[in-house]
Chains A and B, each alone.
Chain A
Amino acid sequence: MSRQKLMGWGRTAPSFGDLQLPRSEEDVLHALGHGPVIARGLGRSYGDPAQVSGGVVLDNRGFTTIGEISPDGVVTVEAGVSLHELLKVTIPLGWFVPVTPGTRQVSVGGAIAADVHGKNHHVDGSFGDHVLSMRILTPVGAFDVTPTHHEDLFWATIGGMGLTGVVTSVTLRLTAIETDRVLVDTTKHRNLDSVMDAMRTGDDAYRYSVAWVDCMTKGASMGRAILTRGHHAGVDDVEAVTLAGPTNARLRVPVDAPSGLLNPFTIRAFNQLWYRVAPSKKDREIQGLSTFFHPLDGLNDWNRMYGRRGFVQYQFAVDDYHGDVVVKAIERLSSSGVPSFLAVLKRFGPGNHGPLSFPMEGWTLALDLPVGPSALPGVLDDLDDLVLDAGGRVYLAKDARLRPDAVRAMYPRLDDFLTVKQTYDPDQRLTSDLARRLNIGGQH
C-alpha cells in the first residue's frame, strides 16, 4: 500500500491515505467493498473533504471521457473531467458551462459533491440544478439517477461531499454563447452599504454579478468594494467573433512563500492598490471569459503564497432579512486585526433540494484568511454564532474548522441526508476527514 500525504487547497490538516487511480467501474466497486473510502478530484476544496486518513482515496482522474454535445447543448462527461478541459472542447462549439466557480480547475465530480455556484447563482442556481442525470457507484451497487428517478440519491449527492457514492458520469445542460467575450459593467463603492444597495436593486438585470470587498478598512470606508456585473457578449457586441477555449496557466508559484508574507501590512497595501487602480465606473467593457470568470487560473499553485501554514476560507450564507450579518462579520474581522484578503460578496437565488447543498436565497460572503494569528480560531467561532443566530450556514467545501453541533443547526436537513446515506451505504464505508470531523456520516 502506498500512503500519500493529502490535503485541501488551504494546505491545512494533511493526512495520509492510500491514493488509488481506478480506471473502470469494476475498480471503483471493488474499492467500495471496504471502508473507509472517499473520492478525490482536483483537490480544490479548501479543507479536508477529499482525504481520509488511513483509508482509500479514489482519484477520479481516470474518468476523463467527454461525449458528443447534442444540438440543444446536452453533454455526458465522465466525473474526472475538469471544467478547464471541458471548456476547451465546448467554447469553440459555442457552449459554456452552466455554472463555474472562480476556478476551472475543478472536476465535474467535485463540482457535484460541493454543488458549486458561480456569479450567476441569483439567476441560474448552482451546478446541481443543471444536471439531468448521473451514474453513481455505491457500496450496494450502481445507480443511474435523475431528479425524478432515485431522486433521494440524486439530491443527497448534490452537495453531499462525496459521502453517498462515487459519481462516474454526469449528463448536464450547457449554456449557449455566441462569443468568448463578456460585457462587463464595473462600479466602485465607498462602503458596504453602498455596494449592498446596488446589488439588492440592480443584480436582477445581470446574469453575472460579484463584488470584491476590502475587509481591512474601518470607519466610513469599511467594506469599500468593486462590483463587476456582466453578460455573455452577443455577435453584435463585438467587432470580430471569436470562440477560443481557455489556455493552460503559464506561471506558477514555485515554492512556499514565507508564512508571514501575507500579513496585515502587505494585505492592506494590496487591497489599497487594488481599490485605487479600479475605475470608478466603466460600462460595457469587453473582457475574455477567463479574465472575468477565472482570474486566478493564470497562476498555478497560488495557494503557496500563504506559506507553509496555509490558509482557511470562511464562506457563509444568510437570507435577505439578515444582510446585517455581512456588515457585522466584516466589522468583527476589521476590528480584530485578523488580516483578510479581498472578500467576495454575492447574492444567491433560491437553493435546491440537496439536503447538504449550501446556497440559500440572500447573501453570501467568502473570506480568505491566512492561518497564524492566535485570535483567528476565536473570531471564526464568533462568526459561526452570528451566522447561526441568523439561520444561515457555512459552506462545507470551504470549511476546515466548524464544530459538529453547528453543522447540525446550519443544515436542518442533515438527518434526511443521513437516512439516504444509510440506504446506499449501510456499512458507512464512505467517509472523509471532513465527515469524521463534523460527524456527518461514515466510520470514525
Chain B
Amino acid sequence: MENAFGQPQRVIVLGGSSEIARAITKKLVAARAHTVVLCGRNPELLAKASEEALDYGATATPLVHLDAEHPASATTTVDEAFAAAGGSVDLVIVAVGHLGSQADDETSPEAALAMMNVNFTWPVVALTEVRNRLVAQGSGRILVISSVAGMRVRRSAYLYGGAKAGLDRLADGLADSLEGTGASLQLLRPGAVRTRMTAGLADMPFMTGPNEVAEYVMAGLSTNQRVIWSPPVLRWVYLILRHLPRQLWRMVMDR
C-alpha cells in the first residue's frame, strides 16, 4: 500500500525500459517500492531496467511482454502485469511512447498509424483496463507520461505531438472520472529530456535529464497535484506559448 507521503510499494511500469520510467523507478524503489512489474518490448533493455531496480533494493521485478504496435494486446498485457504484481497495485506508470521521425513518417499512412497506435491507442486501451482494476481495488494511482509536445502541436513533430495531445486531454477527463473511486490519475508533462529518444537532437531550452524529471515526479506524488510539469516553470512558459499568435509561435518554436 501507498504510505502517507504518496510512496508506493507495488508498481507497474508500462514501458519499463523508457529512460524516464527507469529514473522514476529507481527513486520509487529507494523509497518504498518492493515490487516493480516491468512491461516492455525489448528483453535486453528490460533486463537492464530489472537489474537496476534490484540494485536499488527492489525484491521482485517480474517482466511482462508488451507490444504497443498492437493495441488489442494491451488488455492482456495489463492483466498479466496485475497478476505478476501479486497484490494491490499502488501505482501504474504509462510510459509507452515513440518519437518517430516526422520527415519519414508524415508521407506514410502506415507509419502514421503506427505512431497513433504506440503513442495514443495502445495507452488508451491499457488505461481503460487499468482504470477498471484500480476502481475495483478502491485505491491506486496512474501516472501518464504526456509531453509538452502535446500542449501545442508543432509542424516539425505533429504526429508525436498530436498523439500526445490526444492522450493528455483524454487522461485529464479520465482523471475526473476517477473522483470518488479511491483511484486517481496524474499527468506528467515533461519538456525535452536527454534520452535515447532525443539523442542527436540539439539541446533545447528547459531541457532536463531523466533524474530531474524523477525528482519532480516524487514531489508530485506526495502533493497529489493533477499535472506535474518538469521543470515546473514550463507550466507558465506554455501558458504563454499556447496563446502566441501563430506567426510568432512558428518563429519561436517551429523553425
Contacts and interface: CB of A to CB of B under 8 A. Distances in A.
A54 B181 contact: no
Interface string A1-40: 0010100001011111100000000000000000000000
Contact of B3 (A5, A17, A437): A437
A376 interface: yes
A138 B9 CA distance: 29
A13 B4 contact: yes
B139 interface: yes
B138 A12 contact: no
Contacts of B6: 13
A17 B138 contact: yes
A436 B138 CA distance: 14
Contact of B138 (A3, A48, A312): A3
Nearest to A3: B138
A280 to B, nearest CB: 38
Interface string B194-212: 0000000000000000000
Given A54-B88, A444-B88, A16 B139 contact: yes
B32 A436 contact: no
A15 B87 contact: no
Residue from A53, A401, A403 whose CB has the most chain B CB atoms within 10 Å: A53
B222 A53 contact: no
Interface string B119-132: 00000000000000
Contacts of A310: 4
B182 A53 contact: yes
Contacts of B219: 374
B1 interface: yes
B137 A54 contact: yes
A42 interface: no
A409 to B, nearest CB: 16
B5 interface: yes
A47 B4 contact: yes
A371 interface: yes
Contacts of A436: 1, 87-88
B138 A444 contact: no
B214 to A, nearest CB: 14
Contacts of A16: 138-139, 180-182
A403 B86 CA distance: 18
B136 A54 contact: yes
Contacts of B186: none
Interface residues of A, number: 32
B1 A48 contact: yes
B61 interface: no
B1 A53 contact: yes
Q: Interface residues of B toward A: which range?
A: 20 to 34
Given A3-B181, A15-B182, A400 B138 contact: no
Given A371-B222, A374-B219, A444-B88, A15 B5 contact: no
Residue from B4, B31, B138 whose CB has the most chain A CB atoms within 10 Å: B4
Interface in A308-331: 309-310, 312
Contacts of A372: 223
Interface string A428-444: 00000110110000011
A403 B32 contact: yes
A356 to B, nearest CB: 18
Contacts of A377: 5, 7, 31, 222
A444 B86 contact: yes
Interface string B75-102: 0000000000011100000000000000
Contact of A5 (B9, B31, B136, B182): B182
Contacts of B4: 10, 12-13, 47, 310, 312, 371, 400-401
A13 B180 contact: no
A404 B138 CA distance: 22
B67 interface: no
Interface in B174-196: 180-182
B2 interface: yes
Contact of A401 (B3, B138, B139, B180): B3
B139 A15 contact: yes
Contacts of A14: 182
A6 to B, nearest CB: 9
Interface string B1-34: 1111111010000000000000000000001101
A3 B7 contact: no
Contacts of B5: 12, 371, 376-377, 401
B1 A437 contact: yes
Nearest to B87: A444
A17 B138 CA distance: 6
B137 A53 contact: yes
Nearest to A12: B4
Contacts of B181: 3, 16
Given A54-B139, A371-B222, A400 B88 contact: no
Given A3-B181, A53-B182, A403-B32, A13 B3 contact: yes
Contacts of B32: 403
B208 to A, nearest CB: 18
Interface string A365-382: 000000110101100000
Nearest to A444: B87
A54 B9 CA distance: 17
Nearest to A310: B4
Query: Which 4 interchain pairs have the tightest Cβ spacing?
Result: A444-B87, A16-B182, A12-B4, A400-B4
16 contacts: A3-B138, A3-B181, A5-B182, A12-B4, A16-B139, A53-B1, A53-B137, A54-B137, A371-B222, A372-B223, A374-B219, A377-B7, A400-B3, A400-B4, A436-B1, A437-B9
Given A53-B139, A310-B4, 15 more contacts: A5-B180, A10-B4, A13-B1, A13-B6, A15-B139, A16-B138, A47-B4, A53-B137, A53-B138, A54-B137, A54-B138, A371-B222, A400-B3, A401-B7, A436-B1
